[in-house]
Amino acid sequence: MAEGGSFYEDFEVGRTRRHPQGRTLTDVDNIWFTLLTCNTNQIHFNSDYARRHFAKEPFDGRLVVNSFLTLATVVGLSVDETSRNGIMLAMKDMRVVHPVFAGDTIYAETTVLSKRESKSHRGMGIVEVRTAGLNQDGTKVLEFERTFMVRRRGGDWE
């Protein structure tokens, strides 16, 4: 079986990649995720509350997709071409810049910020990226930076 995903050698500093898959988020995704994670903010699961307290633009009385669901989706959409052959070390500077609503389709775009060989693990390298989540209109909905350790081609954890 052929291995997929990117290896350390595949990353070029400054390269931006729009990941090919998208994911449409639904009310069910949002409500289940919100309740499973014990989030009690009613803007995510109570339509009456949303209509009464968030009636104006950009919300227009709609439920707002939980930002952590959006984050998890964007990370997931980027994994195949970023950290599929590695492990995450850090995430920082996550910013929500536009609300997401049920029916929005989310895409991911990643720029390589830096890379270096691992000092402690011979078969690995360290890569830092900035990833943006975009909706179907190309509007940025969130962004964050992530650092992960990724295998070199033919390398293993040592």
Q: What whole-number distance in Å separates Cα of residue 14 and Cα of residue 84? A: 20
How sure is the predictor about 1, in pLDDT bands with cuts at 50, 70 and 90? very low
Q: Is the pTM of this model over 0.85?
A: yes
Q: What are phi and psi of 112, to 5 degrees?
A: -80, 120
Domain ranges for the chain: 8-151
State the architecture of 8-151 in CATH terms.
Roll (3.10)
Q: What is the pLDDT of residues 37-91, one digit of tens each?
A: 999 999 999 999 999 999 999 999 999 999 999 999 999 999 999 999 999 999 9
Residue 3 has pLDDT above 80, yes or no: no
Q: What is the pLDDT of residues 107-131, one digit of tens each?
A: 999 999 999 999 999 999 999 999 9
CB atoms < 10 A from the CB of 99, how many? Answer: 18
Contact 133, 74 (CB under 8 A): yes
Per-residue model confidence (pLDDT) at position 29 = 98
Please list, residue by residue across 46-83, b when 16 or more beta carbons sit within 10 angstroms of its beta carbon and e when fewer do: eeeebeeebeeeebeebbbbbbebbbebbbebbbebbb
